[in-house]
Amino acid sequence: MSIVGQPPAYFFLASSIFFILVTGLAIWKSNLRLPVTRLLIAYTLLSASLFYLLYFRDIGYLWMFRPDVLVNLPFYGMLLLAWVFLGYTLAFLRTGAPGLRGWWAGLLPVTAALLFDSDPLRNLADVLWRSPTQVLTRSAAAWYTLQAIWALLIAVATLLVLRRYAQTVQPLHRNRLKYLFPILAIQTGSGWMLLANYSLPGYSLHLLVTLLILNISLTHSLPDLRKISRQILSYIIVTVLSTVLLGAGFLVAWNLTKSTTGSNQFWAGAAVVGVVAILFTPLLALIRRLVDRLLSGSRYDAAQAVREYSHSISNILDMELLAAIVVGSVRETLHIKRGHLALVERVEEAGEKGYRLRDIHFEGNGDLRPGFLSFTGPVAAYLVQERHPLTQYDIDLLPRFQTTGKDELKWLVSTGMDVYIPILAHDEWIGLLMVGPRTSGDRYYEQDLGLLSALASQTAVSLENARLVRHLVELNNEVQQAYNELNRANQQLERLDRVKTDFINIASHELRTPITLVMGYSEMLLGDAAIQENPYYSQMVGGIRSGSVRLHEIVDSLLDIAKIDNRALDLAPKAISLPSLIRNIHGGMEKAFAERSLSFDTIELTNLPAIEADVDALQKVFYHLIVNAVKYTPDGGKVKVMERLVPADKSDLGQDSVEVIVSDTGIGIAPEIQELIFTKFYQTGPVNLHSSGKTKFKGGGPGLGLAIVRGIVEAHNGKVWAESPGHDEAAFPGSQFHVLLPLRQPLAAEEGEPQPVMVVSDGLMR
Ligand code: ADP
């Protein structure tokens, strides 16, 4: 057996067993869902079948086939293998599976060539074309077709790899692709040798190709060819330089020993050898270092880099500035082309549950589209759980990241980044440092990833602080905006309130004249003898009169409110006696008290001094309070008025004051509305319970009484408030209204004796 000739039969048997083993290894070690694994298995199985067939052929089991078919069997196998190899290349390049149609389209010319060559039915002409000088036989034509299709398949695979290599920028991917070149070369060499009848080397190269394919398919982190070639180059340079060094030493020793004689010769040689020996080790180390630095580009001291980095980012609270420094420092240390610092926010809305990533943009750094990584996606899970840098290469190739969503992958690829480093603060993922390719075109080695990890953890505190500050600023802006809006709304409300007050003012003035007329005429009619004689008419006129009196009262209250709102209360404070004022009010309401069987009690202080106040206004205050006490106390209840002197040091007003307390045994007031009832138009209970009778139990009114009370009391620099254990229409806890008035008014009109108080007999105030 020659080295180039036909191998013996057991070679084929051993090879087929080898292929079966390789297939088993591939099935055991790799992910069968990956197209590249399936094609690898197809390739090894096809190889195993081919070698079995060759073994059977050589031991004579395939006697039923024609000898010419048996001779060409390796070429058929080679063609089919080239077809599967093209598929494998496509899967390796991840250009997307060719699809069923693609497979058939590839298989068609292969089958046609096989049939054309083997002519299984023996129905093809042996001579295809004949000229007087030349003859083209079928077998020759078939042989050329076979070779052409094989060359085409290999050429297409090579072109695809070359194109992809030119398009790829990521060093790790480029490194992976580089492995395909020797494989393609050996594959071509193997085919060519088989065709040229160098069978044994051809088959051996095929075994080698299969091993290489198996290796690149099963190994994720392939050795860095660039680094290996650098090491080899460095080794060569160091060897050459040390040879030169030793050679120079040898020459010097040679020349020295030549010129000296005897024992001197020995010592001269020994001296040179000694000098070379002393210098050799440090010189070698120096050369090695120089070559290393020259070839492997950037070098850095990781500990110092981290120290300088943490120093430069500490105390920075501005997000953009922080991002600029972070990216700038990483760029400087690792010589990267570009990088980004993205802010990570947890989003838990109905539609999306995951992390939103927004670039912290700063001057001079390109824009990065915001991205979204779902909680359940493998990328977010890895970054949060492993807290370790993740390379785009891993995402592209590792089975663990196969389930990454399409949108996520698209976004990650669009960033053009090589490594993603998570930044976590208190177990919360807050940022992502993203670094692009290095200017040297080198990949990121383990120590680079370690450095990036350290830098990311240094960034956590600063980023967290900057984030909080930004959040505060945003919150502040929001509050400011809300405040501005509130202010605007307030101004609008004030304007509306003014318009309303103006309207009330005008309407009340307009109503007052006709009501006064109706009131006057009805009084005249009541005095008319003819009406008095007719009880029916006198009752009707009496109704008109009391209705117009009530209307007049309401209109008056409205005018009071308008005056209070416009701060236009016309007050003429004079010294008045409160007890007599209250007695007079009660006197005007005796009928009402009698109708409702209410008792009226007043506890007067004999030595109560006169206070300075506007008589009319103060009458309105106590009139409304006593009317309310009557209105909200059930029949048979009690109304009590108490007065007391409050010395300046005990008074909320800071001066000597009088406190009048109007209390009743009525339904009481719930604590939460004890302030609200003093706002105008505020009433408790449903509006439809209104009754025109102003002293009827729970009669209801326009909701103006207490607003007028507060307006007048405050205009007198006093205070009014309500106290009650609560509202209860069964237990009747009662209420107390406190009116605190200063004895003196700052601008008292005149001082003198207490004025007698005038009360209109029907209780109507003017
Ligand atoms: P109204 O015209 O409805 O009486 P007011 O301003 O005088 O309007 O009173 C406002 C609300 O305060 C009343 O609707 C009533 O619910 C409550 N109120 C006033 N005085 C008393 C009181 N003495 N006892 C219980 N509730 C009262």
Task: Give the distance (Å) from ligand 1 centre to CA of residue 711.
Answer: 15
DSSP 602-669: EE--TTPPPEEE-HHHHHHHHHHHHHHHHHTS-TT-EEEEEEEEE-GGG-TTSS-EEEEEEEESSS--
Q: Which atom of ligand 1 is nearest to the CA of 682?
A: 10
Query: Is residue 688 very low, low, confident or very high in pLDDT (cuts 50, 70, 90)?
Result: low
In this structure, of 78-82, 589-593, 683-687, the range with the lowest mean pLDDT score is 683-687
Q: How far is the CA of 722 from the centre of ligand 1 (A)?
A: 10
Residue 705 Cα to ligand 1 middle (Å): 8
Residue 262 has pLDDT above 70, yes or no: no
pLDDT at 342 over 90: yes
Smallest CA separation from ligand 1 atom 16, residue? 684
Using most ligand atoms within 8 A of CB, pick from 624, 628, 683, 684 the residue to mutate for ligand 1.
Answer: 628
pLDDT band at 668 (very low <50, low <70, confident <90, very high): very high
C-alpha of 450 from chain center:
27
**Has residue 346 got a pLDDT over 50?**
yes
Ligand 1 atom having least distance to the Cα of 708? 6
Question: Which of 101-105, 161-165, 303-307, 591-595 comes out lowest in average pLDDT?
Answer: 101-105
- The pLDDT of residue 757 is above 60: no
**Which protein residue has the closest C-alpha to ligand 1 atom 23?**
629
- pLDDT value at residue 132: 84
Are 648 and 654 contacting, i.e. CB atoms less than 8 angstroms apart?
yes
Q: Which atom of ligand 1 is nearest to the CA of 666?
A: 24
Between the CA of 105 and the centroid of ligand 1 the distance, in Å, is 95
Is the distance from CB of 584 to CB of 620 less than 8 angstroms? Answer: no
Measuring from atom 4 of ligand 1, which residue has the nearest CA? Answer: 701
- How far is residue 532's CA from residue 623's CA, in Å, rounded to a whole number? 31
677 CA → ligand 1 middle, Å = 7
- The two tokens of residue 657 are 């004051």
Supply 383's token pair. 């970054």
CA atoms within 13 A on the CB side of 113: 26
Q: What is the DSSP string of 206-221?
A: HHHHHHHHHHHHH-SS
Mean pLDDT for 363-387 is 89
Atom of ligand 1 nearest to the CA of 662: 23
Dump pLDDT digits (tens) for 567-614. Answer: 888 888 999 999 899 999 999 899 899 999 999 998 876 778 899 999
Q: 601 C-alpha vs ligand 1 centroid, how far in Å?
A: 20
Per-residue pLDDT at 743 exceeds 80: yes
Residue nearest to atom 21 of ligand 1 (CA): 628
Q: Give the number of the atom of ligand 1 that is nearest the alpha carbon of residue 624.
A: 7
For residue range 142-159, what is the model confidence (pLDDT) as tens digits? 889 989 999 999 999 999
Instruction: For the chain, count helices (H), then strands (E).
Output: 22, 15
Q: How far is the CA of 576 from the centre of ligand 1 (A)?
A: 27
432 CA to middle of ligand 1, Å? Answer: 64
* C-beta of residue 387 within 8 angstroms of C-beta of residue 430: no
Q: Which residues line ligand 1 (CB under 6 A)?
A: 624, 628-629, 632, 664, 666-667, 669, 677, 682-684, 700-707, 735
Q: What gap in Å lies between CA 87 and CA 104, rounded to an integer?
A: 12
Q: How far, in Å, is the centroid of ligand 1 from the Cα of 631?
A: 8
CB 419 within 8 A of CB 444: yes
Above pLDDT 90, what percent of the chain?
48
pLDDT of 2 > 60? The answer is: no
Q: How far is the CA of 700 from the centre of ligand 1 (A)?
A: 8
CA of 348 to the centre of ligand 1 (A): 50
Lowest mean pLDDT among 376-380, 431-435, 550-554: 550-554
To which H or E segment does residue 359 belong? strand 353-359
Model confidence at 764, pLDDT cuts 50, 70, 90, reads very low
Q: For 206-258, write each residue's pLDDT tens digit.
A: 999 999 999 998 888 888 888 888 778 878 887 888 788 788 878 887 787 77
Residue nearest to atom 12 of ligand 1 (CA): 677
Task: Calculate the alpha carbon distances from 351 to 348, 354, 379, 491 in Å.
Answer: 8, 10, 19, 40
Tell me, in angstroms, the distance from the centre of ligand 1 to residue 545's CA.
26
Cα 704 to averaged position of ligand 1 atoms, centre (Å): 9
293 three-state secondary structure: helix
- Structural contact between residues 276 and 245, judged by C-beta atoms closer than 8 angstroms: yes
pLDDT average, residue stretch 546-566? 87
Q: How confident is the model at residue 295 (pLDDT cuts 50, 70, 90)?
A: low
Compute, in angstroms, the gap from residue 682 CA to the centroid of ligand 1: 8
DSSP 63-74: TTS-HHHHHHHH
Ligand 1 pocket test, candidate residues 672, 683, 690, 720, most atoms within 8 A of CB? 683
Q: Write the Ramachandran bin of 543: left for phi over 0, alpha for psi from -120 to 50, otherwise beta.
A: alpha
Interval between CA 702 and ligand 1 midpoint (Å): 10
713 within 8 A of 621, measured Cβ to Cβ? yes
Q: Name the band, by pLDDT with cuts 50, 70 and 90, for residue 693.
A: low
Ligand 1 centroid to Cα of residue 180, in Å, is 94
Residue nearest to atom 14 of ligand 1 (CA): 683
Closest by CA position to 435, among listed 345, 364, 329: 329
- Tell me which of 15 and 268 has the higher pLDDT: 15
> Using 50, 70 and 90 to split pLDDT, how confident is the model at 439?
confident
pLDDT grade for 761, boundaries at 50, 70 and 90: very low
Of ligand 1's atoms, which has the minimum distance to the CA of residue 704?
A: 6
Question: What is the average pLDDT across 324-346?
Answer: 90
Residue type for position 236: I
Q: What pLDDT is attached to residue 568? A: 80
Winning range, highest mean pLDDT, from 286-300, 326-340, 705-719: 705-719
Which residue's CA lies nearest to atom 7 of ligand 1?
A: 705
Nearest CA to ligand 1 atom 8: 703
Q: Best substitution site from 623, 632, 692 to test ligand 1's pocket, by max atoms within 8 Å of Cβ?
A: 632
pLDDT class of 188 with cuts at 50, 70, 90: very high
Q: How far is the CA of 701 from the centre of ligand 1 (A)?
A: 8
Q: pLDDT at position 301, please? A: 82
Determine the Cα–Cα distance for residues 172 and 151; give it in Å rounded to an integer. 30
Say whether pLDDT at 294 is over 80.
Answer: no
- Nearest ligand 1 atom to the CA of 664 is 23
Q: In this structure, which residue's CA is closest to atom 19 in ligand 1?
A: 628
Render the burial of 391-420: b for 16+ CB within 10 Å, e for the rest: bbbbbbbeeebeebbeebbebbeebbbbbb
**Atom nearest to 683 CA in ligand 1:** 14
Reported as a pLDDT band with limits 50, 70 and 90, residue 680 is: confident
How does 665-677 read in b/e, with b if 16+ C-beta sit within 10 Å?
bbbbbeeeebeeb
Task: Please name the residue whose Cα sits nearest to atom 20 of ligand 1.
Answer: 628
Mutate to test the pocket of ligand 1, among 631, 638, 704 (most ligand atoms within 8 A of CB): 631
Residues in the chain: 766
Which pLDDT band, with edges at 50, 70 and 90, does 508 fall under? confident
Tell me how far the alpha carbon of residue 721 lies from the centroid of ligand 1, in angstroms.
12
Q: Mapped to the 3 state alphabet, what secondary structure does 563-574 carry?
A: HHHCCCCCCCCE
Angstrom distances, CA of residue 636 to CA of 127, 502, 593, 732? 137, 42, 9, 12
Kindly give the number of the ligand 1 atom that is closest to the alpha carbon of 668: 25
Confidence of residue 759 (pLDDT cuts 50, 70, 90): very low
Nearest protein Cα to ligand 1, atom 11 = 683
Question: Which one of 561, 661, 677, 697 would you pick to mutate in the ligand 1 pocket, going by the greatest count of ligand atoms within 8 A of its CB?
Answer: 677
Share the mean pLDDT of the chain.
Answer: 87
CA–CA distance, 663 with 586 (Å, rounded to integer)? 14
Give the mutation target among 696, 706, 708, 736 for probing the ligand 1 site: most ligand atoms within 8 A of CB: 706
